[in-house]
């Protein structure tokens, strides 16, 4: 079939494009998750053209359950007019989390208030609902998103890069692989196929209506008083539950040991009996939550990981991995989505500053700016999990603050866009030596 240049394609309604200085840089983004949508929106903000290719055939898919965006990504939302106002009514509103041990005895209550004031707004809500807001905003800004697109191959040469998608060859100046933990773009970047590995843990998770929980004496206090956030910690297991939308909806996750191979399935329907077996001896309130979860709402999700990549960019630096494709995060980091959004904000700035003729330099600078930060943020997922799962609870009772979630300034007070502008010259100088 004949090749398609990106500038031959319509870009939304074009209503916002002519208000910006156009750079002439053409970007293909593979994947319309949070990394891909952020990269696309930010590229439009910086005057680049952007085409997003997504394998899903429609936008009605309710993706997952609860997802958290820290202050570092919250400030990216704040730059998108109208988005914070749409997020506000669907996001969790609570200034603390209550930690119990596995038997239900209170350990510690951690408050967030001052941290939010210092670092900025955070957003926790249903993944699918937040995703739909970003998806619609991207369309409004002039991003073209094609659904039902199966990318079978990535390619590059000295002058351009592209993909083979549904049999068509599509070209651009750069391609961003935002196609998740099972990314095809990783093969091109690495030169071989690195399969995901079991992390040794899995998660039972659910999102559901809270009406029945409100009727039960063991669970009603978690939903009838508005939004709440509660955690139970035990030997090699932690269970987190949150009510949302003024207590009308409820989400929970249970992280536990699981050594099954990921080839058995990455995500599958959950089993109530197995979940309760894993939680044997735990607080009856936890068992009530599990038992009252509708069968169709319970998901068994294997936590997979990949070895840290030596690089995120292809040999000719025309293709870059972003988000989970580059750096999968454990949920206990509470930073996977935020770091994916930081990737999108940073790479759009780098492309703007490098210019069309130096697009490969932009991708190299992006990696140099982001690599060490992301690697350090990834480690926080392991340290938090181990702090909870390997805790000596006799010591925890003497020092309850030891199980606090760290709210670190270097992570939460970061501005990816401003950082890219401020550090561009220094990073470029380093790359040229």
Q: 113 exposed, middle or buried (CB, 10 Å; 0-12, 13-18, 19+)?
A: exposed
Find the catalytic residue in 75, 205, 318, 385: 205
Tokens (6 digits) for 179: 């196609």
How many angstroms separate the first and last alpha carbons of the chain? 43
Question: Across the strands, what pairs with 146?
Answer: 53
Sign of the CA dihedral with 196 first, then 163, 22, and 134 last: negative
Q: Which residue reads 């039960």 in tokens?
A: 216
Examine the residue annotation and report whether 370 is marked as an active-site residue of this protein.
no
Q: How many CA atoms lie within 13 A of 283 on its CB side?
A: 22
The gap from C-alpha 282 to its chain's centroid, in whole angstroms, comes to 30
CB 406 within 8 A of CB 384: yes
The gap from C-alpha 431 to its chain's centroid, in whole angstroms, comes to 29
Phi, psi of 215 (to 5 degrees): -90, -10
Tokens (6 digits) for 289: 């939550």
Question: Across the strands, what pairs with 144?
Answer: 51
Task: Give the length of the chain.
Answer: 433
Active-site residue numbers?
205
């Amino acid at each position: 079939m004949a090749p398609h240049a990106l500038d031959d394609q319509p870009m939304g309604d074009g209503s916002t494009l002519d208000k910006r200085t156009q750079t002439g840089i053409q970007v293909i983004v593979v994947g319309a998750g949070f990394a891909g949508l952020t990269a696309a929106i930010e590229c439009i903000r910086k005057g680049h053209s952007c085409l997003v290719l997504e394998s899903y055939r429609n936008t009605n898919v309710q993706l997952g359950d609860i997802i958290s965006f820290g202050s570092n990504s919250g400030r990216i939302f704040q730059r998108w007019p109208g988005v914070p106002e749409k997020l506000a009514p669907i996001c969790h509103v609570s200034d603390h989390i209550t930690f119990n041990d596995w038997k239900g005895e209170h350990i510690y209550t951690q408050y967030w208030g001052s941290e939010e004031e210092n670092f900025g707004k955070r957003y926790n809500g249903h993944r699918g609902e937040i995703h739909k807001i970003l998806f619609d905003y991207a369309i409004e800004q002039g991003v073209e998103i094609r659904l039902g697109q199966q990318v079978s191959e990535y390619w590059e040469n000295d002058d351009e890069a592209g993909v083979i998608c549904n049999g068509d060859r599509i070209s651009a100046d750069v391609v961003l692989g935002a196609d998740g933990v099972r990314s095809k773009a990783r093969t091109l970047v690495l030169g071989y196929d690195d399969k995901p590995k079991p992390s040794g843990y899995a998660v039972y998770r659910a999102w559901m209506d809270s009406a029945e929980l409100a009727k039960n004496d063991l669970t009603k206090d978690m939903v009838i008083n508005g939004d709440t956030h509660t955690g139970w910690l035990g030997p090699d297991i932690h269970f987190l539950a949150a009510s949302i939308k003024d207590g009308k909806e409820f989400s929970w996750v249970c992280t536990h040991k699981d050594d099954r191979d990921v080839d058995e399935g990455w995500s599958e329907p959950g089993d109530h009996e197995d979940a309760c077996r894993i939680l044997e001896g735990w607080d009856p309130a936890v068992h009530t939550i599990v038992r009252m979860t509708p069968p169709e709402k319970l998901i068994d999700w294997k936590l997979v990981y990949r070895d840290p990549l030596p690089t995120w960019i292809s040999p000719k630096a025309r293709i870059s991995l972003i988000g989970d494709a580059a750096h999968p995060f454990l949920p206990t980091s509470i930073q996977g989505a935020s770091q994916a959004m930081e990737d999108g904000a940073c790479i759009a700035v780098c492309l703007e500053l490098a210019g069309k003729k130096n697009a490969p330099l932009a991708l190299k600078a992006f990696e140099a700016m982001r690599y060490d930060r992301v690697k350090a943020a990834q480690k926080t997922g392991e340290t938090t999990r181990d702090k909870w799962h390997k805790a000596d609870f006799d010591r925890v009772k003497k020092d309850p603050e030891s199980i606090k979630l760290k709210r670190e300034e270097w992570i939460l007070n970061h501005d990816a866009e401003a950082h890219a502008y401020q550090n561009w010259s220094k990073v470029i100088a380093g790359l040229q030596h």
